[in-house]
Amino acid sequence: MIAPEGQIVAAILAAGRSSRTGRQHKLLAQDALGRAMISRTVERVVASNANAVRLFVAPDGDSVVASALSGLHLHPTRLSIGTVQDAAEGMAASVRASVAFARDKGAAGLLICLGDMPLVQSELMDALITAFRRFGADAVVPVHEGRRGNPTLWASSQFDALSRLEGDTGGRAILDALAAESDSYRLLRVVGGASVLTDFDTPERLAAFSRLT
């Protein structure tokens, strides 16, 4: 495939209702140093080589925004905030908002990051971007021990498909279809560490997060 030109933008999905963690909003959970989960996630995405970053929150997401900005020291002007008006629908609404952001920027690629995966390093995100720019692909995913993880970098060729998602679904079915293609360059895989599979979305996982430094 032809290596793409143009911007790579990143979207951080933080509009979920955090229903699996009870009353506590997972993205506001603090680590052992008192830093909110979403703050750690945002700082690492902003430190990546993405040309622009947007944090997507629910209409009542002021506390998430405040926590995200409180610990942001690197290039804060590269971060913008987007509101997902139909966030109650589920993840697909945030994905559609992310695609609209990427299209508005005329981006060649969209890196979709999850707010509850704060351990993913900027270097891994940069490796996805480098692979995308070097080889071209419809999507680039990190893998660990044979399992696909997050974040995922989507080419603009997949924006239409992502825009058609509905409900509480992400792009897994699209990735499955790309993986089934005989052309191995439609889906590129980049080896990553366990962080690409590690989220914090249950009370037990939040307890583990609270011990991190």
Q: In the predicted model, is pLDDT for residue 151 greater than 60?
A: yes
Structure confidence by residue, pLDDT tens digits, 54-111: 999 999 999 898 888 876 765 556 899 999 999 999 999 999 999 999 999 999 999 9
**Lowest mean per-residue pLDDT among 36-45, 69-78, 189-198:** 69-78
pTM comes to 0.93
In a domain, 169, yes or no: yes
Flag whether 147 is in a domain: yes
The pLDDT tens digits for 157-189 are 999 999 999 999 999 999 999 999 867 679 999
In a domain, 69, yes or no: yes
pLDDT surpassing 60 at residue 21: no
**Is 71 within the bounds of a domain?**
yes
What CATH number is associated with residue 70?
3.90.550.10
Give the model's pLDDT for residue 18.
63
Residue 3 lies in a domain: no
Print the domain residue range for 174.
Answer: 8-209
101 in any annotated domain: yes
pLDDT for the residue numbered 74? 56
The stretch 46-50 carries a mean pLDDT of 95
The answer as to whether 2 is a domain residue is: no
Q: For the chain, what is the domain count?
A: 1
Most confident region among 60-69, 122-131, 196-205 by mean pLDDT: 122-131
Q: What per-residue confidence (pLDDT) applies to 19?
A: 59
Report whether pLDDT(31) > 90.
yes
145 within domain boundaries: yes
- Tell me the pLDDT band of 22, cut-offs 50, 70 and 90: low
Task: Return the pLDDT at 2.
Answer: 57
pLDDT at 138 over 90: yes
Q: Given this model, what pLDDT does residue 67 score?
A: 86
- Which residues, other chains included, contact 163 with Cβ-Cβ below 8 Å and sequence gap of 6+? 96, 99, 100
